[in-house]
Amino acid sequence: MSDQPERRLVIISNRLPVILERTGKQWSIRPSAGGLVTALAPVLRDRGGLWIGWPGTEDETELEEPLAEGAKGAGFDLKAVLLSKEDRDKFYYGFSNEIIWPLFHDLQALCQFDPEYWAAYQTVNGNYADVVIRNVRKEDYVWVHDYHLMTLAGELRKRGNRAPVGFFLHIPFPPLDIFMKLPWRFEILQGLLEYDLIGLQTLRDRRNFEQCVSTVIKDVEVHEDGPLVNVRLDNRQVRVGAFPISIDYNSFAAQAVTREIADRAWYIHEDLPKRHLVLGVDRLDYTKGIPFKLEAFRNLLTRYPELRERVTLVQVVVPSREDIPRYQELKMEIERMVGEINGVFTTSGWVPIIYIYRHLNRPELLAYYRTCEIALITPLKDGMNLVAKEYCACSVEEECVLVLSEFAGAAAQLQKGALLVNPYDVESMADAIHTAFNMEKSERRARMGQLRATIRENDIFRWVDSFLTAAIGKELHDFPPVEDYQPQVRIE
């Protein structure tokens, strides 16, 4: 077994990169879904780092063996933070996902501003801080991720943390008029300003953050310093920057051309012959705009009847937060709309919408990326949306078209090659699908070639290097791989 590296990357997030589920006496384990794990797992792999988070279960017994199984081949340690049912309900489902999530996605009418949620949020951030303090060395770099842990740095400072701490927000940061509706707006900004470096997805997010800080925090100085913004207060300086997250482009592109993926893609087209396939892949969430997308597809078939029997929407919905009533209602609405559209337009040998409600493993997902001629990625608002980048990386023939919401963070980077749409405008989305269907191969190749070049140049490793350089003047190669590293699993 190799020794631990002298300096480690320590990732702190709400969830570990694996999800544990127990049925009777049997544990099942699978990779966590979502952009955070997709992005960070390749970065941390084989470097002997540490990932701290919740394993996704309230069961505190016999976790070591399934977690150790999940850590195999990862090349980094896992540290599980346990949450009680009350923690999960008030911190995770409550403050994080009934207040911050809708508010930061400009859907403030969906917020439930319960003071008990805020108390739980502070308590759980303190619990995470206790685990971090016991497991982090001063030589480590602590990198905290996402909206669940915005006050963690302040809790670490109270406990005497000496390691540098950075923060990256994966979701959008809202404009001032939206953010001001948060009852705890001052406390959240103060908590964020305890970090040494704050990373946001886009320049728009950075501008929103600057305006909120300048308005809410007294005696603060904000000025630009190249690509970063310096915020000075209480004899401290905090740096803020836009760091658009990305994917491991080479990994996706290389796997997409393997025989396994090519065979899977062939079988999909064999089952759905002589038609264009339009792909939607979304987590079950009201921010993803799935009902608007379905309505746009209905509009397409109504206004462009010549596309009937020539185009099929493959809509994949990944289960998420199924215990929350609003998500249950959304699932029922999606299923009702799929049933209605298929009921009206289905003919012998053709079903307009193929609806898949489950988590796809990576080979399955890449086969759909490789197969489908059009991707329809239309969130109402999104921090980045890595599905759009994954789709382009896997479009190895470069004859596919990306239809992308202008409200996705990815639109800032991909606007020149994608067809941008307003997801609230169902007619314009239908027109964009029609345009994509009829687009000449030469234009498809030019657009997709440009998209793939942009993503290849700005991949996940460049994202990490840019953040670490801004944070501590280091790059990823300063945390070199550790040969034959055997991960350790610890539970607290």
Instruction: Yes or no: say if 159 and 135 are a contact pair by the CB < 8 Å rule.
Output: no
Report the b/e string of 244-271 with b at 16+ CB within 10 A. bbbbbbeebbebbeeeebeebbeebbee
Cβ neighbours around 441 below 10 Å, total: 10
Q: Can you tell me which residue has the tokens 């197969």? A: 371
What is the arrangement of strands in the sheet containing 311-318, beginning at the earlier edge strand?
Answer: 353-357, 311-318, 276-283, 374-377, 401-405, 419-421
Cβ neighbours around 5 below 10 Å, total: 17
Is residue 382 part of the annotated active site? The answer reads yes
Q: Which of 248, 382, 431, 459 is catalytic?
A: 382
Cα four-point dihedral sign 283, 287, 289, 290:
positive
Cα four-point dihedral sign 483, 468, 392, 280:
positive
Instruction: Yes or no: say if 196 and 172 are a contact pair by the CB < 8 Å rule.
Output: no
Distance from C-alpha of 436 to C-alpha of 402, rounded to nearest angstrom? 8
Distance from C-alpha of 13 to C-alpha of 117, rounded to nearest angstrom? 19
Cβ neighbourhood burial of 224 (10 Å; 0-12, 13-18, 19+): exposed
Is residue 223 part of the annotated active site? The answer reads no
Q: Which of 170, 196, 282, 431 is catalytic?
A: 170
> Strands 311-318, 489-491: parallel, antiparallel or unpaired by DSSP?
unpaired
Question: CB within 8 A of 374, min separation 6: which ones?
Answer: 276, 277, 278, 279, 400, 401, 402, 403, 433, 436, 437
Instruction: Yes or no: say if 406 and 422 are a contact pair by the CB < 8 Å rule.
Output: yes
> Strands 26-31, 18-23: parallel, antiparallel or unpaired by DSSP?
antiparallel
* Residue 69, CA distances (Å) to 57, 78, 388 in order: 16, 11, 31
Instruction: Yes or no: say if 252 and 43 are a contact pair by the CB < 8 Å rule.
Output: no
Cβ neighbours around 114 below 10 Å, total: 14
Three-class SS state of 174: coil
* Residue 323, CA distances (Å) to 54, 113, 202, 282 in order: 17, 19, 32, 18
Please, how many CA atoms are within 13 Å of residue 477, restricted to the half-sphere of its CB?
1
Cβ neighbours around 320 below 10 Å, total: 18
Residues acting as catalytic residues: 170, 382
